[in-house]
Amino acid sequence: MASHAATADDALYTEVAGQRLLGFLFFLISDCVIFGSFIFVYLYIRNASPVWPPAGVERPGLYLAAVNSIVLFGSGATMHYAMEAIRRANVRRFTAFTVATIILGCMFLSGQAYEYTHLHDTWAGSTFGASFFTLTGMHGFHVFIGVIFLITVLVQTLRGTYTPMRHFGLTAATLYWHFVDVIWVALFFLFYVY
C-alpha cells in the first residue's frame, strides 16, 4: 500500500512540476519589473542631470565593488555545482557547495555593509546617494533572502526532502541565486563603471 501511495505521489509531483516552475518564473519576472523600474528611474535622473554624479559627490570606489563582485559571481558557480551534485545523488558534495555558496553570500553582504559604513559624506541628501542606497540596498536584501532560502533548502535536503528526481525547491533556489547575480551585473555597471 505504501508503494502505491509513493507512486501516486511521484506522479502528482511530475504532473505539477511545470506549473511550479512557471509560477516561480512569474515571480522572478515580477522581481525583474521592480528592479527594472528603479533602474529606469535612476537612468532618467542621471540623463536629466547636466553633471553626474552631481557636483561635490564622489563616486563609489571600484576596488571593493570588484572584489565583492568576484565573491558573488563565485557563489553563482558554487550554486551551479551544488545543483549538479544533487542531480547525481551526491548529497555530500551538494552540502559542501551549498555551504560554500552561503558563505560567499554572507561575504558579499559583509563587503556591502563595510562599503555602506565607509562611504563619502558628500552623498548626504544627494540624488546619487538615494539612488545608490535604494538599488544596492534592495539587491542586498535579495541576497539576504537568498541566503535564508539556501539555508532552508540545505536543511530540507539533509532531512531527505529532495532527491535526484524530486528537487524543485533546489531548482528554485538556484534560479533565484542566478537572478541575484544577474541583477548585480547591471548595478555594478551602473554605479561603478558607467
- Domains of the chain (ranges; CATH) run 2-193 (1.20.120.80)
Answer whether 97's CB lies under 8 Å from 76's CB: no
Whether pLDDT at 120 is above 70: yes
Rounded average pLDDT over 164-168: 87
Whether pLDDT at 159 is above 60: yes
Whether pLDDT at 148 is above 60: yes
Q: Please tell me the predicted confidence (pLDDT) of residue 176.
A: 98
How much is the pTM?
A: 0.90
CA–CA gap between residue 185 and residue 194 (Å, rounded): 12
Considering only the C-alpha atoms of the chain, give the largest distance between any 2 of them, rounded to a whole number of Å: 75
For the chain, what percent of residues have pLDDT higher than 90? 73
* Cell numbers linked to 137: 540596498
**pLDDT higher at 103 or 57:** 103
- pLDDT tens by residue, 84-103: 999 999 999 999 999 999 99
Answer whether 89's CB lies under 8 Å from 164's CB: yes
Answer whether 128's CB lies under 8 Å from 42's CB: no
